[in-house]
Amino acid sequence: MPNQSSGTLDALKRVEITGHQQHGSIEIFHLRWPGSNGLDYVTLDEALEARWIEITEFTEAGQVPRIKIDNRSDHLVFLMAGEQLVGCKQNRVLNASIMVPARSEMPLPVTCVERGRWGYSSRGFSSGHSSSHYRLRAMMAAQAAESYRQEGVPEAGQRAVWREVSRKLGVMGSKSPSDALQEVFGDYDRELQESVEKLPAPAGCSGAVFVVAGRIAGADLFDNPDTLRKLWPKLIQSCTIDALEPLTESPAAIAPEEISSWLERGARATQESFPSPGVGQDVRIEGEDLIGACLVVEDHPVHMELFRRTEPRRTQASGQVGAEPQQPASADGPAPEAGGRRQSWLRRLFW
């Protein structure tokens, strides 16, 4: 059973909007919240570049919804939900934000974003230097929350993710022989780099709300401004990829008061706390018009992600978000049990 968390969202009541940026149909509202918790960690890209970690398929045969990380350093390593890993038997994205302990080896819950490949292109994963677009991140956050309740681990609906990747490729005009989400980022590299240049990381801020075409896409807040700065290019590219989709209507301006009101409603949302696959707790957040998560380590929020809810709020009795059982890309992956219930193999690994 989850632990009920009462204080994680209290910090949202003290968030200040300190600035604003705009480039095309993207608007960004800068956020500042109470200070750093002093936790010492490195990011995924830092750890990969320093060769402190190695990320591989979990076994030689590979299994779709899990891979393995070996942290050989004395550092905690922070992995942000949505970060993309490329290589090995197929590209994956991280299902949840995770803090990997120092000197440890552990499985990582992931989802495939390259349906048409199941064969080695490399022996280890490398950084895609990208994060899933906000629409996909929001969908996976909802699915992971329901999976925590049902299975105790943050899984996503693989078929639903594949459908969204295919939709994204189609609407962006990107063609990938393996249906790889990363193809979109390569095709639009010039536009993405322009956004990164036009929208620099706000000094002294630890978070931001991202608005695309007049609608809130989501928000990311970190425990210190340095983490935001390091992950800023991925966040900018994530919302830019959504902003590059053809507009169906003229975007309306959004006022800072609307952003404040949305964050205030977030502070009143329901919270459920689950043991994270790594260090700390994964607090799942659900309100009437938002959904999200917060990784909490040593009683301090490390990363909070919030998304505008696009579907009606579901109760636990309504069943698994995403509705469909996971379909692996290979017989080497786990198969659904009779009646649509997933096997408990992943639960046993993480518990």
Residue 64: inside a domain: yes
Largest CA distance in the chain: 53
> Per-residue pLDDT tens for 51-72?
999 999 999 999 999 999 999 9
Residue 337: inside a domain: no
> Per-residue pLDDT tens for 287-336?
989 999 999 999 899 999 999 987 655 554 334 333 333 344 443 543 33
- Whole-number pLDDT of residue 343: 36
**Above pLDDT 70, what percent of the chain?**
85
Residue 342: inside a domain: no
Q: Is 314 exposed, middle or buried (0-12, 13-18, 19+ CB in 10 A)?
A: middle
The tally of domains found in the chain comes to 1
User: Which residues, other chains included, contact 31 with Cβ-Cβ below 8 Å and sequence gap of 6+?
Assistant: 15, 16, 17, 18, 205, 206, 207, 208, 209, 219, 221
Residue 329: inside a domain: no
Residue 328: inside a domain: no
Q: What is the mean pLDDT of residues 167-187?
A: 97
Q: What is the mean pLDDT of the chain?
A: 88
- Whole-number pLDDT of residue 319: 40
Residue 325: inside a domain: no
For residue 248, what are its two tokens? Answer: 């169906």
> With a threshold of 0.85, does the pTM exceed it?
yes
Residue 152: inside a domain: yes
For residues 138 and 38, which has the higher predicted lDDT (pLDDT)? 138
**Above pLDDT 90, what percent of the chain?**
79
Distances (CA, A) of 132 to 95, 145, 182, 349: 10, 18, 9, 26
The boundaries of the domain holding residue 51 are 8-245+252-311
> Per-residue pLDDT tens for 1-10?
344 445 688 8
Residue 331: inside a domain: no
- Whole-number pLDDT of residue 339: 35
* HEC sequence for 126-170: EEEEEECCHHHHHHHHHHHHHHHHHHCCCCCCHHHHHHHHHHHHH
